[in-house]
A and B are shown apart, each in its own frame.
Chain A
Amino acid sequence: MFSITQVKKLALPMLSLGAALTFTSCSEDDDTKNAGTQGDQFVMSLAIQGSNNTFTYYTVPFADVMTGSLSAQGKGIEQPGYFDFTQIGNTIYSIGGLDDVNVVGITKTATGELQQLGNISFANSLSDIIQADANTLVAVEMSSNSNMVKFHTINANTVTVTSTKQHPVSNLTNLSAPSYSGMRISGNQLFLSYYISDPTTFATPHTNEAQVAVYSYPALEFQKVISDTRTGPAGGFNTKTGLIKDEQGNIYALSNSNPANGYSQTTKKGGILRIASGQTTFDQNYFFDVEAVTGGKNISHLKYLGNGKALAEINAEANANQARWSDGPLKTAIVDLNAKIVTYINGLPQHAGNGRRLAALQDGNAVYMAIPEGNGIYVYKIDTQNHTATKGAEVQANFVAGFSKL
């Protein structure tokens, strides 16, 4: 029944069908686990932009960030969307932004692999998560499309919400709408800084004073709003550093109402105010006139290091010459909050910011940052004592969203 000619006739179609199967069988790569090993102490959250204009974040462990090239190829925790990374204790919290309303913790297992911990979600994206004590976090949910400010108390070990307290936005202001800029807990108070930004146009028509809302802690009852007209609003767009706290519990409020960080107008000079530890008013005896020290330049990002010193990203341009929202160009410096001195870092190029929380890792006397330079991004290790920096590995990413050590 099956003659030779018939078999020949089959050959061509069979070959092409066979090709389909051959094609597919070799397309699978080895399925290796690559979430890190004991030696990988550094963890970077690399943001990759896709051709479809969406970003995917890869939180990847690295043993060495000072040599070679750092890539997420085949390793790291993938998170498509918008994520803000903040390390508190031994956990990196990845806070979903834009449309993402979830939060997960990223920790290291006993064998040194990264793992995800917990999964909590909210009606709107969280604006920030801060530490209350070793086991407790406080998160705030503030959104221009909600008329409520919600505080969530989170168990830091399990990443679960233990309680939620809601207050009307109208406690803060009747203006539309307060936008989150910073939060710290000191003693029995929680301080929340904000600025007024129109939810549609993002214009900031109210820049004559700094305002901080005071809530009791741990009860999280609204107490009052304190304001100060020596400088403008605390914090800027998405920088999350309106308030920082030192070892003594003093709160510092950074005002930088500059175009590069989202302000449509500036009516007061940038500076730093203080709420002394245990107080619920601005310290009238303290004002750090930043512009006087920097020659008219403002601080965009501030990361507290210790002993009254903080790492600052300082605008290279005065407000008048800044492009709105550009978050740059920036120069890195160490700021002494008590002596009111600014010392720029040598060996670190002037660079663009990312318009989001500063991704910087403090490790003893070193601070690691990923700096865009030319067409690439490079790790720089800053010596905070000698005010110098060393160039390290190239990062295969469009930007670095988090820099941690676990």
Chain B
Amino acid sequence: MTQHTNFIKALLLILTFISLPKTGWAQGQDKATVFGKVSSATGEVLIGVSVALKDANIGTTTDEKGQFRISGISAGNYVLTLSYIGFETQEQPIQLGESQNLELNLRLINKAFVMNSVEIVGKTATKEINEQPYAVTAISVKELQNSSSDAKEVLNRVSGVKVLEEGGLGSNLSFTLNGFSGDQVKFFLDGIPMDNFSSSLSLSDIPVNTIDRLEVYKGVVPVWLGTDALGGAVNIITNKKNNFLDASYSVGSFNTHRLSINGAYTNPTSGFTLRGTANYNYSDNNYKVWVPIKKGNNVIDSAEVKRFHDRYRSGTLKLETGWVDQKFADNFLFGIIATGNDKQVQTGATMSSVYGGITRNSQSIVPTLKYSKENLFLKGLNVSFSSAFNRTKSEVIDTLRGVQYNWLGEATYTPGSTDGELNRTFTTLTDNDFNSQFNTSYAFGPKVSLAFNYALSYFARESFDTENPDRIENKFPKSLTKQLAGLAFKFDPTEKWSTTVFGKFYYLNAKTSKQYDFAQDNQRIDAFESQKENIGYGIASTYFLLPKLQLKASYEHTYRMPWATEIFGDGLFTTPNPDLGPEQSNNVNAGAAYGFNLGPDHQFNLESSFIYRAANDLIYQVVKVASPETYYDNLSKTRTVGIEGGLRYRWRETFNMGGSMTFQDITDQADFVFNESYTNTGYQKNFQKDFRVPNIPYLFGNANAGLTFKNVLTEKSVWGINYYFNFVEQYFLSWAELGSRDFKKVIPRQYSHNLELSYSLKQGKYNITAECRNLTDALLYDKYYLQKPGRAFYLKLRYVL
């Protein structure tokens, strides 16, 4: 059992939607302390046992002597929770008076098949070293597991985060995180970058019961995540219990069906483990939208019609096998992900274009390998490695000739015309993507540690268009190589203060084709290669002013490398931009998190942060009103000043409510714009300097409230009712200040309400949830003129073994 030494770290730190730090500071004058020793039934000292006060969100782990100490506790009644891998979790009710020092010596009982959630590869190795100073919000999904939500809906409730959807299930998503829009936020699945994961592995395809928790890093991203995330990062951590089965089926409006089966088996002695996830998503997305109806060339009417060509299907199978908790590795896992989707394409970048024949599909096979070991050769030397190879084949099909659809689904035929609906094409994209990440860290002592990370990603695409086999662009290889090396030094002078200094080296090499000398005599399409090397650096620090009042501040000079889709396009609506360069910014984040109790029953958590960002060459998605196509470009100079805050309140275990609000003012700071055309070529005055950058929400918030009743009607049952509210202030598609407000293109102000009722039986073995989304049937738009679904009902059945 001692091989578990130092392995397990408490997850209980993440009980609420704010991450709370480990405790261990000086005792308050009137505060109580609980301390003691934890051993196994046979008397072995247990090291690294998570010990937490359940209602106070304070926790620690046992030290090398199996001892723990939690101080600074207000007087009251608590439940002390002890959890350790391979043992029954033990709950011990305690009562603490003022200034009381309570000693508890406890024994844990072995349990072969029950294990607490375990930190995953990468995270485990370095968590102790670098987690604290970053602005991180961790969301435990446990309470939401019966909900029919998916990853994106959970994320959308985090302050500073806004998920923008183009439509129903399977539609494109983009994010803003503290003013960094679209893809400036990087996503990880269990620590592996999702950059080039296929479209069938997007956030809306990940059902909530396959997720253990979500971590949202705002601003500075820890070195161990290794990526060139500039605005922040989201790490989705999937269930890692050793033995379980979780199956769910949900059915809802628009003929939506979602099936998810999720399970694991681990042999307690050999450590051999087998984990599997299968999920299937289907929706016709035939929700109603308000659109102009065209007859011929005239708009004859505006009407509410059902979308008629928007079906989405996706399926994923994920298997992982290997060993856990062995001498040679803490985790040594091989996996394979097989996934596929197909999607009918209803509209382009706005609903002004409507299609009835365009489809796209993709299939991927992703073998993965993960290895991690703490205390490899030396005590304090932790190593982890993860690697994934993703082969994706996708097709973009627009092969109708001379046919145009209107919103009634009526086709107009033009005899003799060979025009496609958008651009006649049958393009096959074959993408090979290799991602690898290596982390190592070494602790020189309790106060000083060093971490190193190296990440390599290689993406290559081949395209072929059978409708246009001679297309010159397709004859040039497209590839993108990114390398990133990071070194972080962490210094903890006192228990209250922790500081990390880091440096990152970025390397980008893109090979593609590009048109040279457009419309000149020597116009040609030729190979184009660009190479960028940048050095970033930063500092992040946190200080506990009070035991539960944490201050965080960070500064970073950083770069973000463009993604493959941003440079190469997606073969349909996103057109390539080979000249797209890295984005550079100076980011300052400062924030505070505070948790306190008023009496034994009222528990409050507050967080707030301030953001300042000065970015050059911001990577930005350009949407044009009438065009179905979009592309990415660099905005030469922008500035973000933002503030966000969140509040959460819980009364016993019965009632909870919370909310968050974000304001971000992103303004254009460029003095000049460059006119690339051949007339009046050169720099011209930027008449929109200081104006708010268009098409990014600037004020939004959300709120929720929930009631939980236990053992009503039946024993061991839980009833829950939850309400969610979302708000986005109106914003403009173009720069804010020119033109009359009456004529500006807007994304209107939106309010949406969701209501969820859940009932769970036999200690959570059987669960049933009913949900109504968009209760008021409001017209919702996340993106300019792309309407989201109206009122919708879902029912979810879930079985957990």
Contacts and interface: CB of A to CB of B under 8 A. Distances in A.
Interface of A: 1-2, 6, 9-10, 12-14, 16-17, 19-21, 23-24, 27, 31-35, 48-54, 56, 58, 71-81, 96, 98-102, 116, 119-123, 145-148, 152, 160-161, 164, 166, 168, 201-203, 262, 264, 323-328, 352-355, 372, 375, 396-399
B549 to A, nearest CB: 7
Contacts of A12: 549, 592, 594
B699 A49 contact: no
State the majority secondary structure of interface residues on A: loop
A75 to B, nearest CB: 5
A164 B739 contact: no
A1 B629 CA distance: 60
B743 A121 contact: no
A164 B297 CA distance: 9
B744 interface: yes
Contacts of A1: 598-599
Contacts of A2: 598
Interface string B149-186: 00000000000000000000000000000000000000
Given A54-B622, A73-B737, A121 B294 contact: yes
B298 A120 contact: yes
A273 B598 CA distance: 92
Contact of A81 (B608, B624, B680): B624
Contact of A23 (B647, B663, B685, B741): B663
B728 to A, nearest CB: 12
Contacts of A32: 741
Given A49-B675, A53-B676, A324-B678, A116 B626 contact: no
A267 to B, nearest CB: 15
Contacts of A49: 673, 675, 684, 686-687
Nearest to A124: B419
A359 B687 CA distance: 20
Contacts of A164: 296-297
A12 B735 CA distance: 35
B416 A148 contact: yes
B297 A152 contact: yes
Nearest to B674: A53
Contacts of B729: 24
Contacts of B294: 121
B378 to A, nearest CB: 42
B743 A77 contact: yes
A307 to B, nearest CB: 31
A203 B404 CA distance: 31
The 8 closest A-B pairs by CB, nearest first: A99-B627, A78-B739, A325-B678, A100-B626, A355-B679, A17-B645, A16-B608, A13-B606
Given A73-B738, A78-B734, A152-B297, A325 B521 contact: no
Given A1-B599, A9-B549, A54-B624, A326 B739 contact: no
Interface in B496-547: 519-521, 523, 546
B296 A33 contact: no
A396 B686 CA distance: 10
A182 to B, nearest CB: 20
17 contacts: A9-B546, A9-B594, A16-B608, A19-B643, A20-B645, A27-B699, A48-B735, A50-B673, A52-B635, A56-B734, A58-B738, A74-B738, A75-B740, A79-B625, A120-B297, A148-B414, A201-B519
A21 B701 CA distance: 11
B596 interface: yes
B739 A325 contact: no
A123 B679 contact: no
A19 B628 CA distance: 40
Given A2-B598, A24-B663, A96-B626, 17 more contacts: A16-B608, A20-B643, A20-B644, A20-B663, A27-B665, A35-B742, A49-B673, A54-B622, A77-B743, A80-B733, A98-B627, A99-B626, A99-B628, A121-B294, A122-B297, A147-B418, A352-B680
Contacts of A77: 739-740, 743
Contact of B626 (A21, A101, A372): A101
B734 A80 contact: yes
Interface string B133-153: 000000000000000000000
A74 B626 contact: no
Contacts of B271: none
B661 interface: yes
A122 to B, nearest CB: 6
A34 B620 CA distance: 30
A74 B519 contact: no
Interface in B647-664: 647, 661-663
Contacts of B299: 119-121
Contacts of A96: 626
B678 A326 contact: yes
Interface in B664-691: 665, 668, 670, 673-680, 684-688
B395 to A, nearest CB: 22
B474 interface: no
B708 interface: no
Contacts of A160: 298
Interface in B682-722: 684-688, 694, 698-699
Contact of B740 (A20, A35, A323): A35
A116 B745 CA distance: 14
A2 B596 CA distance: 12
Contacts of B644: 20
Nearest to B518: A202
A119 B294 CA distance: 10
Contact of A76 (B416, B625, B733, B738): B738
Interface string B77-96: 00000000000000000000
Contact of B592 (A13, A121, A353, A398): A13
Contacts of A51: 635-638, 668, 670, 673, 686, 688
- Between A10, A101, A121, A327, the greatest number of chain B beta carbons within 10 A of the residue's beta carbon is seen for A121
A19 to B, nearest CB: 6
A17 B296 contact: no
Contacts of B663: 20, 23-24, 27
